[in-house]
Amino acid sequence: MSDPAHSPHLQHHFETPQQQFDAGKLGMWLFLATEILLFGGLFCAYAIYRANHPEIFVYAHQFLNKYWGGTNTVILLCSSLTMAWAVRAAQLGQRRLLIVLLSLTLLGAMGFLAIKYVEYKEKWEHGLLWGARFAPQVEGHGEAPAGAPPAALPPPAAAPAPPAAFVVERSAIKPAPPGPGGTLVAEEEQQEQLDHAGMGRRPDNVQTFFSIYFLMTGLHGIHVLIGMGAILWILVRAIRGDFGPEYFTPVDFVGLYWHLVDLIWIFLFPLLYLIH
Amino acid sequence: MDAHASSHAQVGHVMRRRVLFRVLAALLVLTYVTVAVTSFDFGRWNLWVAMGIAVVKASLVLMFFMHLKYDKPFNGMILVVSLALVALFIVIALDDTLHYKKNVIPGYAPEIKTNPK
């Protein structure tokens, strides 16, 4: 047992368990670097739109509930602790503790996604969606403005399509005429309602914020899902008794991935929920 | 620390439980601070205050939860390089977009309705 070369977990192309562990960890960090670059693209999109249109972000963040966001931050931080502690338990061969801590981490991930579901559902019901799907109906956010029937807004699909010439390359044509009257009236009616709801005047192109919001939190949510799958996998292996002081690499690497998910959220929370 | 650690060389660094809990406490306090600080207005510094707190929180997670403080420095270098590349990407893209005129070919861009305040 004392000779590391006889460890059943040591692959033949490594000299020592330490060398094997370091090589694996290097690979894991390279993967995490690609994850940072992946999210970097979205952070760049965020920076460009916020720099050009700060008014959209100041207005639209009012639709995000910072208490839900804060609760999710706390949940994710606590699950990061249980994950880091689980790595310690695996290193020390504390199998029962490892199983408990991994289960708690999984529970935290479920709690995070449950709150995310509540938030997404609210956005969906109020039409606070991305791009062309953006059709705000705000009366449910606070109390309905007096005398405004909730079904008064025409669905955005009913608006007549813009003239075909509007769609082709803009630099080659004359400036577009103002849009059809019907859409403008509907816009103004919506504007009225929004003013009543105490949100202030709605700037143009608020859907930009929600496109970015859903892309960033959505990609992060997918990472949470993948993380849950990975945690479940090492939980099953931990119950089987695979891990101990000599072999805990999968726990450590899944932990690193989980902390990265936490790291991304640490930045998403103030950037999306706490604009002022 | 215990029998395992002394019987043979432990692969990797074992975090002390006390350190883990202190890091969590610091992270929770900083989360509270970043929410509480929104009731003060620092004007154009609002974003930088929020990002500063986020960077401190991220460093705590990286150093202790992700073991970087005790790791081979090369892993940290990979992280720093990836962050530097993201920063380069954002800074150059921002520099570019903020230098464009609103209307490059006069009369040929659709009028952007601005927020009347």
Query: What residues are paired with A247 via a beta bridge?
Result: A244
Residues B62 and B7 in one domain: yes
Q: Is residue B86 part of a domain?
A: yes
Residues A93/A99, Cβ–Cβ less than 8 Å: no
Contacts of B38 in chain A (CB under 8 A): 66, 274, 276
Count the Cβ atoms, other than its own, within 10 Å of residue A276: 14
Q: Is residue B107 part of a domain?
A: no
Looking at CA atoms only, how far is residue A33 from chain B in angstroms? 5
Instruction: Tell me if A81 and B23 make a contact (CB, 8 A cut-off).
Output: yes
Residues B39 and B25 in one domain: yes
Q: Which of A127-141, B27-41, B100-114 has the lowest mean pLDDT?
A: B100-114
How many domains does one find in chain B? Answer: 2
Instruction: Tell me if A43 and B86 make a contact (CB, 8 A cut-off).
Output: yes
Residues B9 and B59 in one domain: yes
Residues B34 and B49 in one domain: yes
Q: Is residue B43 part of a domain?
A: yes
- pLDDT at position B106: 66
Nearest Cβ partner for A17 among B11, B31, B61: B11
Residue A136 to residue A206: CA distance in whole angstroms? 10
Cα–Cα separations (whole angstroms), residue B25 to A14, A81, A188, B20: 39, 10, 49, 9
Cα–Cα separations (whole angstroms), residue A239 to A52, A95, A96, A236, B14: 52, 8, 8, 5, 21
Looking at CA atoms only, how far is residue B66 from chain A in angstroms? 6
In the predicted model, what is the mean pLDDT of residues B51-69? 95
A10 pLDDT band, cuts 50/70/90, is confident
Q: What is the DSSP letter of A139?
A: T
Instruction: Tell me if A22 and B72 make a contact (CB, 8 A cut-off).
Output: yes
Residues B18 and B60 in one domain: yes
* Amino acid, res. A219: L
Instruction: Tell me if A88 and B93 make a contact (CB, 8 A cut-off).
Output: no
Residue A123 to residue A141: CA distance in whole angstroms? 10
For residue A247, the SS3 value is: strand
Looking at CA atoms only, how far is residue A42 from chain B in angstroms? 10
Residues B61 and B76 in one domain: no
Q: What is the DSSP letter of B41?
A: -
DSSP string for A92-138: TT-HHHHHHHHHHHHHHHHHHHHHHHHHHHHHHHTT--SGGG-----
Residue A163, classified by CB atoms within 10 Å of its CB into exposed (0-12), middle (13-18) or buried (19+), is exposed
Give the chain B residue nearest A45 (alpha carbons): B90
For residue A244, the SS3 value is: strand
Asked whether the predicted pLDDT for residue B75 surpasses 50, the reply is yes
Residues B56 and B81 in one domain: no
Asked whether the predicted pLDDT for residue A78 surpasses 80, the reply is yes
Take residue A138 and report the two structure tokens written for it. Answer: 């705000």
Residue B117 to residue B108: CA distance in whole angstroms? 26
Q: Taking Cα atoms as reference points, which of A82, A89, A121, A87 lies closest to residue A104?
A: A82
Q: Taking Cα atoms as reference points, which of A270, A241, A180, A118 lies closest to residue B54?
A: A270
Residues B94 and B80 in one domain: yes
Residues B58 and B76 in one domain: no
Residues B12 and B52 in one domain: yes
Give the sign of the dihedral formed by CA B32, CA B33, CA B34, CA B36: positive
In the predicted model, what is the mean pLDDT of residues A152-178? 49
Q: Is residue B58 part of a domain?
A: yes
In the predicted model, what is the mean pLDDT of residues B24-50? 92
**What are the counts of helices (DSSP H) followed by strands (DSSP E) for chain B?**
4, 0
A1 pLDDT band, cuts 50/70/90, is very low
Instruction: Tell me if B57 and A37 make a contact (CB, 8 A cut-off).
Output: no
Nearest Cβ partner for A2 among B8, B41, B105: B8
Instruction: Tell me if B31 and A88 make a contact (CB, 8 A cut-off).
Output: no
Q: What is the pTM of this model?
A: 0.79
Contacts of B74 in chain A (CB under 8 A): 26
Residues A145/A196, Cβ–Cβ less than 8 Å: yes
Q: Is residue B104 part of a domain?
A: no
Residue B48 to residue A146: CA distance in whole angstroms? 41
The tens digit of pLDDT for each residue in A172-187 reads 555 555 544 444 445 5
Residues B95 and B48 in one domain: no
Contacts of A30 in chain B (CB under 8 A): 78
Provide the residue range defining the domain that includes B80. 71-99
Q: Is residue B113 part of a domain?
A: no
The tens digit of pLDDT for each residue in A105-151 reads 999 999 999 999 999 999 988 888 887 788 887 554 444 344 444 44
Q: Which of A141-155, A166-180, A255-269 has the lowest mean pLDDT?
A: A141-155
Residues B58 and B79 in one domain: no
Nearest Cβ partner for A26 among B23, B74, B110: B74
Structural domains for chain A: 16-136+202-273 (1.20.120.80), 147-198 (no CATH)
Find the Cα–Cα–Cα–Cα dihedral A109, A114, A118, A124, rounded to 10°.
80
**Phi, psi for residue A254 in degrees, rounded to 5:** -60, -35
